[in-house]
Amino acid sequence: MKLKKFQVESMPEALQQIKSELGSEAVILHTKEISTGGWFGFFAKKKLEVTAAIDPVKHAVATKPLQPSLQETKKEVEQILTHVPQTQSVSSATQLEAPALIKQIDTELNLQGVGESIREELKEDAFGFWYSQEKENRTPLAVINFTRQWLKRRLQQVPIGQSSFNKKFMIFAGPTGVGKTTTIAKLAAEASIKHGKKVAILTTDTYRIAAIDQLKTYASILNVPVEVAYSLDDFHAAMEQFEAYDVVLVDTAGRNFTHDFYLKELQKTIHLSEESSLYVVLALTAKYSDMVAVLKQFNQLAVHQVIFTKKDETNSYGALINVCLNEGIGIAYVTNGQNVPDDVIPASIDHIVESVLEGMTLDGSS
């Protein structure tokens, strides 16, 4: 067994050095705070001394198949343990509690569908957090709170919410059956009733008569005008017609946007300008791989944000985090039911994180 001590400024730095020099299979045996430098006891600098070990036998090359005898292994272990103060035993409950809890949190996030790369980064940082804390502060609640704050900090990298109908033309596109038409009705009501905007609706979905009729029904209830655009020329004409309106919500035909053909077809009926924002509507019930395929196609266009629907039809919310952190696209709204205008929630970092963590109790159990 190979044993080495590291003197570092922080636990994350120790983890990096241990991984670099001993490999990812290394085990931390002991940590303690030490003082280095100084003059007659003054001006000493606080550091962490971390003792780690790796069993080279498990990583031996095929040309060196020999293994130490049981007696030799026992002797090595005894020598290692003599260097570890008995007040901080390797097998102490505190030392063993963190990896089990962190593994449990990782399992829960995996069940929620949070991506592996995100979970691996979180695990490494959570492990460093645990060993950087004083012993009395190493609690399951502290680790869960660390997880919550870690996710919130990462989500600050992309725009979450903040729509407020600040662009005149809001264009909605996405796969068939995700609920674009109902979502548009909800947002038309929110813009009109809650924000006092003068709202109009424009649809380019000329393939489904039912969709046009549905929009007209909603528009009649909300007392807002509706126009149908069959071509790009019709779209431009409607833009001029609605010049005096604050917000124009544009519905598009649901298509299998994993194929480039349908995206080009969409571009024939809409026009993106400085006054417009494009929202891709996705259902949380869909497979994440399918969402990625759709968003990859929309990379050809300037997508503003994503709107997620059908939150009430699933218990897995990892895509809310994956789209933000893996795809670099923010979320504008989340819908959670069919009721118009009630079942729509402006997205927020708190709402996303708590949705993912809601199945986890504060004592670390689930």
Q: What is the extent of the structural domain holding 292?
A: 169-347
In terms of pLDDT, which residue wins out, 235 or 328? 328
pLDDT of residue 86: 39
Q: What is the DSSP string of 74-124?
A: HHHHHHHHHTS-GGG-TT-HHHHHHHHHHHHHHHHHHHTT--HHHHHHHHH
pLDDT at 287: 92
Of 47, 50, 68, which is closest to residue 4 (Cα–Cα)?
50
pLDDT band at 110 (very low <50, low <70, confident <90, very high): very high
Q: How far is CA 151 from the centre of its chain?
A: 7
Q: How far is CA 168 from the centre of its chain?
A: 29
Determine contact, residues 15/124, Cβ cutoff 8 Å: yes
Please tell me which of 14-28, 81-95, 351-365 the model is most confident about, judged by mean pLDDT: 14-28
CA dist., res. 162 & res. 317, Å (int) = 21
Q: Out of 74, 91, 108, pick the residue that ends a domain.
A: 91
- pLDDT: is 255 or 98 the higher one? 255
pLDDT for 310 equals 94
Q: Is the predicted pLDDT of residue 283 greater than 90, yes or no?
A: yes
Whether residue 329 is contained in a domain is answered as: yes
187 and 273 inside one domain: yes
Supply the pLDDT for residue 314. 93
Q: Is the pLDDT of residue 366 over 70?
A: no
Question: Tell me: the pLDDT tens digits for 39-80?
Answer: 544 555 777 788 777 766 545 443 344 444 444 444 444 444
Whether residues 190 and 284 share a domain: the answer is: yes
The predicted pLDDT at position 365 comes to 45
Rounded to the nearest integer, the mean pLDDT of the chain is 78
Measure the N-to-C terminal CA separation of the chain; round to a whole number of Å.
Answer: 37
pLDDT > 90: percent of the chain = 29
Q: What length does the chain have?
A: 366
pLDDT (0 to 100) of residue 1: 58
Q: What is the CATH number of the domain that holds 276?
A: 3.40.50.300
Question: For the residues 4-18, what does the mean pLDDT come to?
Answer: 81
DSSP conformation letters of 271-317: ---TTEEEEEEEETTS-HHHHHHHHHHGGGS-EEEEEEE-GGG-S--
The DSSP secondary-structure symbol of 360 reads S
**pLDDT of res. 208:** 66
**What's the domain count of the chain?**
2
Strand order of the β-sheet with 27-36 is 2-8, 45-54, 27-36
pLDDT band at 256 (very low <50, low <70, confident <90, very high): low
Of 37, 68, 91, the residue at which a domain comes to its end is: 91
- What is the distance between the alpha carbons of residues 249 and 272, in angstroms, rounded to a whole number? 13
Give the pLDDT mean for 314-332: 95
Does residue 129 lie in a domain region?
no
Residue 173: what residue type? A
> What was the pLDDT predicted at 139?
83
Q: What is the largest CA-CA distance in the chain?
A: 89
Reply yes or no on whether the pLDDT at 268 is more than 60: yes
Per mean pLDDT, which range of 8-22, 33-47, 111-125, 305-319 is the poorest?
Answer: 33-47
pLDDT in tens, 185-235: 899 988 888 888 999 998 887 666 676 787 888 888 888 998 888 888 888
DSSP string, 199-267: EEEEE---S-HHHHHHHHHHHHHHT--EEE-SSHHHHHHHHHHTTT-SEEEEE-----TTSHHHHHHHH
Rounded Cα–Cα distance for residues 173 and 178 (Å):
10
pLDDT at 118: 95
- The residue-averaged pLDDT of 98-120 equals 88
85 and 194 assigned to the same domain: no
For residue 44, tell me if it sits in a domain: yes
**Residue 125 and residue 10 in contact, taking contact as beta carbons nearer than 8 Å:** no
214 and 85 within one domain:
no
204 CA to centre of own chain:
32
179 located within any domain = yes
pLDDT score of 281 more than 70: yes
Whether 364 has a pLDDT exceeding 50, the answer reads no
**Residue 159 lies inside a defined structural domain of this protein:** no
* Residue 152 belongs to a domain: no
pLDDT at residue 291, rounded to an integer: 93
- 231, 322: one domain: yes
**pLDDT class of 84 with cuts at 50, 70, 90:** very low
Residue 125 lies in a domain: no
Q: Who wins on pLDDT, 313 or 264? A: 313
CB atoms closer than 10 angstroms to residue 316:
15
Higher pLDDT among residues 168 and 348, named by residue: 348
pLDDT band at 148; cut points 50, 70, 90: very high
pLDDT of residue 77: 40
